[in-house]
Structure formats: C-alpha cells, structure tokens
Structure 1
C-alpha cells in the first residue's frame, strides 16, 4: 500500500474512493452502455412467450325451473368446502381432461409440444454422456402431456372459490385458446356426470312410486273405515265431537260459577252496608238503580231546606217538623228499595247455582262418552300416522322424479361452476420484458463497475490513510484554538439576560491579560450607555430568542404590571410571533385592555365546563395577538378545576410560539402548581421597582428552583435594585 507503513493503523478514505470513481466515470459509463446493449440484444433474440388466463367460479347451480327450496339445499352442500375447491383444481389437471383438450386442439401436430423430436445439440451431448434421459424413449403422447403440463398453471385464488387457469405459449392465439378449451371440457364433464345421475334416479324411482301409491291408498282406506265404525266424527280438522262438546260445557260451567260468585259477593256487600247502617252510595248495584237516584235527589233537596230554615226558625216550628217527617219517609223508602235490590241479587245467585248444577251433570255424562272416544282414538291415530308417513314419502318421490325426468329430457343440468373470465389473446409478451431487463442489466453493470474500481483503490492502498497522523493533526488544531480563541463564561444577571463580563481571561501571557483589563476598564467610558435592559422591548427581544413555550408574568403591584404584560404581548405579536395571553388576574385588567367584548367567555368558563375551548379564544383589538379573557363564571368554582389548566397550556403551546399567562400578584406555590415540570420563563412585571418586594420574590423563586427569572421594569431604579439584590 503506497504511502502507508506496514505497522500503522489505517482507515478507509471515503473521499478518495469517490474521487477514484468520478475520475473513471467515462469508463464506467461505457461499460454500462455495453452491458445494456448486450441485455437488449439478448432480450430481442429470445423467443417471446405469451400468457393468458381463464377463471372459473365454483358455485352450486340448478336449472331455471328448479324450486327455491332445492336451490337452497344445494347451496348448503360440500361445494363451499375448501377441500372441494382443492379437489376441483386437481381435477382440472387430470390426465383424462388434458388428453381431451390435446385431442380437440390437435396439439400433437405442433413442434412446440414435442421439442424432444428435434432436440438441440447440447441435449444430445447430455444424453450421450448419460447425464440426461433420452426423451425419445417416452411415447409421443406422454411427451406432449409433459410439455403441456410444463406450460400450464392451475391454482385457487386465495380467499375465494375461484380457480385460475394460466397457459404460456409462443403463439398468442394458442395461449388464449387452451385455457378456454380446458374450461369448456371441465364444464361439459361436470354437466354430463350430473345428467348420468339424473337418469339413474328416474330408473330407480319409477317402480318405487307405483308401490308407494298402493300403500298410501290402503292406509287411507283403513283410517276411513276405523273412523266410521267407532263414530269418531270430526267437528274441525283435529277435534272430535265429544271432545268439542266437553270443552263447550267446561267453558260454560266456568262462566256460570264466576257469575254465581260475583252475585254472592255483591249481595254480601249490600247486606253488610244495611247491617252496619253505613251509606250505600258507594255500591255500584245501589247507585245504578233509577229509583234510588230519584230518592237520593229528593233527600238532598229536603236536607237543604231544613238547613236553610234552621237559621231563621226554631226547632219546634211546624214547617221544620213537616220537612223532617218528609225526610224520614224518604230514607225509609231508600232502605226498602235497597232491600229489593238485595233480593234481586240473591235471586241471581240462586239461578246461577241451579245452572252450575245442571252443567256439572251434563259434564259427567259427556266425560264418560269422551273417555270411550279417547280409547278409540288411540288406534285411529296410529293408522293416521302410518298413512301420513306413506303420503309424505310418496310426495317426496314424486318431486324427485319430476325434477330428474325434466333434466334428463331437456339435457339441462348445468355444472356446479361457471366461467367468470375468459382468456383473451395477449398483445404484449409475458417474457422477455425488454425494458426491465435492460434497466436491471444497466444498473447491475454500473454498480459492479464502481465496486471493482473501489476494490482496486483499496488493494492499491490509495484509499487508505494512517489514523495516527489524523489524530496528531486534530490535537494540533485543538492547541492552536486554545491559544488564539479566548473562552468567555457568561454570567446570568438577576433579570435572566446574559451579560458579558468586562474582563476576558486569556491563557497566552500575563502582559496581554493586563492590557485586556485596561482596555475593558476604559471601554465603558468612551462608549455611550445602553438602553434600559429591563424594559418591555428588551424583555420582548429576550423572549424572541428563548425556546421556552410558556412565560408566567407576575405583577406584584397590580394593574400597572398587568398593563406592562399586555404591552409585552402586543410587541411580540408585532414582531411576527404567534402569541396568546391568558388572563388569570383577579381584576381582569388585561381583558379590559384587549377584549372587544368585556363579557366574552374566558378561562373561568372553560374550567367550569360552561364554554368550549374554541369559544374562549379572542383577538386583541389593537394587535395580532390572541387573548383568553378572565370569563364570567365564579372564580372559586373555576379554581377547583385548575388541574385541567395543564391540558389547556399543552394544547396552546402546540399551536402558538409563546403562551403568556398573566397571574397578577401570585405566589410561588401557585406558579409551581401551574408550571409543574415545564420549560418556563418567569417575568417579574414591576414598572416601579420596590427593593423589598423584588428581593423577596427573587429569593422565593430561586429557592423554588426557577433559574430564569426576568425583571421587566423601567428607569435607573431597576438597575440599582438589581445590583443591591445581587
């Protein structure tokens, strides 16, 4: 290997391999073109092979005049079985069927199916060397069948009852004719087998039907004679006269007994009312009487007159005495009428009792007659069962005989299969495919040429490089970078913005360090002071460069800090950021500044489940920023579902570049519950910095683990307070 020592560790130089291949690109292209040309010529020299296909569906089929029941019975047969489909595939490849196709199409005269008669020179050499059996030793018919089977493919389409027949031939017409011929021979064979079975069925059924007719006639004659001799007359299709009479008497007896029980219950109710002296107005028998109704009306009128006169006359007044006498007489008449109704009900009960006794006597007589008829029906039922069995068997034989005879006479017995797709004469050859062969040959030649060139480079050593020299070069470059490139350690200010130190630590020598320190001390005096780094614009620039999707704004001073947060949100929106502000303050001041409608749905409505998520997002009236207002629902009830706010923040963070949550004067515990483990920026919105508040908040947030706390304020007071806090 040139340029590499024998004992060195080496590595493969991929760049050199690529350069070597690129340098010999013309040679590779020439070889590729030659390979593609050879493949094209070979594909053109090959004899084209054509393939066509016929498809057969295996399904039960019956003649057009067959009954629906028979068709349904046939469909439930074994034709749906998977094993039956596989058997039909083997039947299509049977030698008898292939011989019929070969003889019908006279394929034995075609040289394509007897290549052994005019074998090639290579085949003759193999036969002489006893490496191959001489095909001429086989009979011509077997050679034709072997050639036919080599070009034939019969298969079952997966997941269906369809059988495909493929055939490949040099002649496109023959490729289409052979599958169609095989399908026709298969269908005719199946149909002929069914016709033979029909003829055999008719020959067997004729004598059986004649004998069965005599048996049915004798059985029905015995049934009629037995019924006449025993007096078993039928009232309808299944019931005899004694049984029907007994059923009628039983139904009437049940009804009469019910009437008797009903009459006794009604009479007892009237007697109880008369005995206890209670009002009988609630009894239906009493109230249905017209006389009772008239007497009750008269009693009500007299009672009303007595009540009216008692207010103006004394109790012994003749008028009052007359009315009371009339009232007593009316009540006596009501009791007498009630006694009459009771006597009528008791008479109904007695009549029902007499009727029930008579029906019971008749029932006993009919039961005796029905018992004798039941004994006679045992023999009758046996004769009827025998006659029905013989009649059903005769009807079955007749139906089978008519169907078989009609099929045999009309030669209409379709095979349990049909052709769903016939083979057509192919236009394009199945093999060879010129374009794919040329493309594959060209790609293979290109890849092989490149591999050969790469192997030559590797074996010559030009594509290898020592690993020691490379490591020394990397170490030398690292030392140079350490000497010439100063490493600055940024210091995080209390406001969270990175501040470059005024002094740079240089490793080179001590004199350069002193000069750099002097230059750093003199530079601030010559340059003008920067703008306030805690202003709203500075914080907006900082958030633009931050990757945190969430910013929590804390406003200890109230609405003034919230107004600054609104300004920050609008400034981010004007800078092209997709930003949304969530008003979580108690006063709702951000909603007042940004929302078009102060009564718009907001975060409290969402947490209470009274508003949909999309209905709470509104646009700012002065910028492209979006806003989720405070809402109109109860704040305390909404805070019970504050845990759901985490899902809201996740959804908004996926849709916006930055989500700003204005929390007002919130504490560290509330912010921690809201942010949890998210990547978050904490913004202290203090328009006028108060040192005590600022120092306390910074201490609490840093103790809680929040390292990025940004102060947003104005004036020199912020810088002084930041310095004292640090």
Structure 2
C-alpha cells in the first residue's frame, strides 16, 4: 500500500475548464492579437528598408601561362580550407575597408555616420553622463564600424567560393560598395604578389653574383687539383691512368688468348707427328704453300707409280727412280711440317713474353691505383662542391628570369576570380512585413491564452478533486483496486475503542504473509521504496535481508539500507563490519557510491551500518529521504530496515511517493499487531504490509489494512 505523510486531498487540472475560459475571453484574446498585428504592421512601415547585394569570388591560384605546370599544381594543392578562411578574414580587414570607404566617400552619408547628426535625446544623455559622446571617436572609425555591421563575408561550405554581402538603404550603393570591395581585394592581392616578386628580384641579384664567383672558384680548384695530381681525363669520366689500366687489361687478355691458341695448335701438330697420324687435318699445315706443293708432287709421283706398276716390275730402274723421288718428297714434307711446328712454338713463346711484359705493366699501374684512388676521393669532393654551387646558381638564375618576366602588373593576377558581380537589389530584404506580423500575432495570442489559463488556475476554478481510491488488502497482492473512496485516518486510540477500524482480516492461505508473497507484492506494484519495521529486533531484521535477497533473485536491482541499531543486516550481508556505511555517509565522510557494497550471498547491494559516530549521524537524518530518492534512480527497489522503530520515526524518512511500509513480525499477538497498525495509522500512513517469515504465535496470517 502507498505510504505518504498526513492525508491530503489530491486535485486534478480541468483541461476543459481551461479551454472554456479561453473561449469565454476570446474577445480579449482576439483584440490583443489584432492589436499586436497592427502594431507590428505600423512598426515595420516605420523602419527604413534595407537592400542587400552579393558578389562571389572563387579562390584559386592564377599563374601566368609560362609558369611551369608543376608549380601551378603545387600552388593549387596549398589552397585548403584554412587558406579560404584566411581570405575571408582579409576581405574583412580594416585597411581594405578603409580604402573602400575613402574611395566611395562613405563618411559623407548619414547612414554610415549617424553620430554626425545626434538627436536631442542623445545630447541629453551625453550631458547627463549616461552615454559617451560619439563625436569623441574619429569619423573614420565610426564609418568603419558601420561598414563592418553591414558587411558579411562567408565561405561557402564544401567549396573555395567566398560570398560577400553588403546591406544599405540605397540598393545602388549596396552593389557599389560590394563591387568596390572586390576590386580593392583583387588589386591588393596583385600588389602583394608584385611586391613579393620585386623583393625576390632584389634579393636574387647579389646572390647570383656571389654564386657565380663561388662556382668559378670551385671549378678552378677542381682543375688545379687534377693538374697537380695528374688526374687528367681522356673522356668525360676516365683519367689517363684508368684508361691505361683498362687498355693493358684488354691487351693482356688478347695476348693470353693468342698464346693459348698457338700452344694448342703446336700441341696438335706435335701429337700428330709423335703418333704417326696424318697432319692434313691441322689447319696450320694445310695453310702452308710449301706443304701444299709437296702434297701435289707426292700425289703425282704416286699416280705415276700406280700407272707403271701395271707394265713394269719393282726392280725396273724407272720404278726405282719414282720411289726414290717419293721418299725425297715425303722427307721434305716432314721437314716442312716440323718448320710449321717450330713457327707455332715460336709464336707461343713470343706471346708468353708479351704476356709477361703486360703483366709487369699491369702490376705497376695497380700499385699506383691506390694512391690515385685516395686522390680521386678528394677530387670527387671538390667536384661535388662545384656541382652543388652550379646547380644552385642555375636555380637562382631560373627564378630570377621568371621574376624579371613579371614586372608588369597584369603578369601577376590575383589568386581569386570574380564569378558573380553585385547588382542593385529590386526588393528589400528587411523588414519582412508579413512574417513579422504573423510572428507578433501568434506570440500575442499564445501569451494572452496562457495568461487566461494561469488566472483560471490561480483562482482555483480549473481545479477539481481527484477520485481517491482504497485498495483492499487481499487485492493489493494481485494489483487490484477497490472502488470505494479513501477515508481520512482516525486518531490514535486503543483497539477496543476503534469504531472506524475494520476488524483484522484473516487470510485463507497461510503463505499470504511470507517473504515470497511480500516480494511478489512489491515487484508487481513496482514499489520504489520499502520501509521495514521489526518490533522484535534482529529476527525481523533477518527477514528484511531475506526479502532483499528474494527480490534480487528475481532480477531486480535491489539495495538494503541498514538503519537498525544492532547492525544485524550489515553482519548478514557485508563482507566486514568495518566497511564504511550509512553513519559515515550522514557525517559527510564518504560519498553515496563509496557507501554501497555487494551482498556476499546474492546480487543485492547493501549500505551497512557504518563506523562513524551514530549520534552525530542522527543529526543529519533529515537528509536521508533525499539520499533514498537519489538511490531510487539507480535501483528498482530500495529497502530501508529500521529495526524496532516507532511510527513517528518512520514518518521522518518515509516521504518517497509510492513507498510501502512492511511490518515484520514473528511471534506477536493479534492485539499487539493491531496496536502497531493503529500507531502507523495515526501518523497518516494509508496501509501497512505484514510479513511473517514463520507462523506467528497468535492467529496465523493476519494482514491489516487501515482505511
């Protein structure tokens, strides 16, 4: 059952009465709305119209046509979002706006210098010291201030386009100022480029002269060092010694090849003679003219012998003469072959001698190459220095030529292009008469209607009593609601003298007041706070612990606050009695989060009794309802175990709307339970839930409802 302080009649707001009150005063509301619309119309008619003109610039790098493509690409890559934002700030710069104001003589217009013709009220305020004299500010600064108010420069999101808007009473002047600002900006950009170009040319001239001298000195050092060390070049990169070394190596390879070839051919002739083989297959023998003639003679003689052998015997003188000639030719042929062999061997010996000579020259050059290598290192260092100076000079010369070609203003276009010029507006942009009238009328209608409703509420005519309900004790467990209206609580009295107190209700089921039944009732009713009172001490407090663990076992976030004097719940749930808890929190020693600890046997949490001085903590007990209200934001159910507390003490903390009071009794008699209920009824509580973990000594299962 709901727990609340002393009974108080609830009221509801009668929305129908509020709407009816507005309708009854429709003439007043309509009149105010019409008056506001009329005033808005007159006010907008008195305001001088303002005209706005707009121009747009595209920020891009504009280089002359003769600029290298790579340079143009690098410049365009540098135009990021910050670069565009920087150009927006430049367009609003003071120097640029001053130039435009001077060019168009804006100081001579009243619109841009209203302080030049002050009103009588303004002069009076200046005389009384309520306002600073605007004439003390220079006219140029006053004009500049007005120009900045009327100027709006912005970057179009997602692009490199900048919009420039200027408003004025004169549409032609608005367009003129916008275009003049664009022209001044483009001219300033070109002038800035020209100044940079001039500064670069002035700086490059002496640098180029200095670099030329350094290049000449560096190249002279290279030539002098080559001459001193004999590192003269025969081509673009080879020195004389290196060239000689390469030529000797090539010649040595050729001589070694010739020697090997001569030795191989001589060996082939020698093997043929030694083994008695025909030497006709040897190319050197066949190429000898003498050998060829001898072979021809040998062939002729053998042919004659063959012809004559058919008619003559071997002992014939002619046959003997031919055979003698054949032997002589064969001896000459062998002799000639030996001469060829001697020639080949001689060629091999000559090649060997030439090889030895070349090897000696090569070793001599190699011995000098080490010294030349060390000298070449120094030479390359001098050449690198000369090349670096030469490259830098070429770069400076290229930059100087490029800068010299941009001496004309037209050769240096601004890094922006006008894509939309400003034109005089045909319609004013301010004031917007129709929207202003509509807004003024709608606001007045709403305010007047709200005023009528508030007057109706404050008068009480729009309030009606709410239909209070009394829940039957047996139906509370099932979420049912009694249809009879609630009755005010009766004053404290004895059980025998309570004529308006209903007789104790005896439940049919013995488990109606068990811990599980009370847990089901709290869960079904979605009770935020349950205040447990245990007149019998620690036994009842243990039942409150069982209740917290039962609700937590159903999956609800449950917290038990130990407000008992004995600290029994803390001993049953906390890991240690030394943990900081409620008394520490009330004394301000810890925060709420530091006072909460997990139950050692269930998912529930507990705020234990604590270790601070209990008397000092009780001085701040009035803060406890606020702490409980804060905890209900984080927990589904907050159980406050008060121990053997009386109804008056419970009334100090049970202020949370929708709270339930649970009376935990085990051995109390019916009359004693009834007395407890009367005490709570006297404190203004509408009802109390009974919880009996075990069968009581008196009539079992009593549950009382105080109407």
When the two structures are superposed, what TM-score results if normalisation uses the length of structure 1? 0.44
Larger radius of gyration: 2
Q: Which of the pair has the greater relative contact order for Cα pairs under 8 Å at 6+ separation?
A: 2
- Determine which structure has the larger helix proportion and give its number: 1
Q: Scaled by the length of structure 2, what TM-score is found? A: 0.45
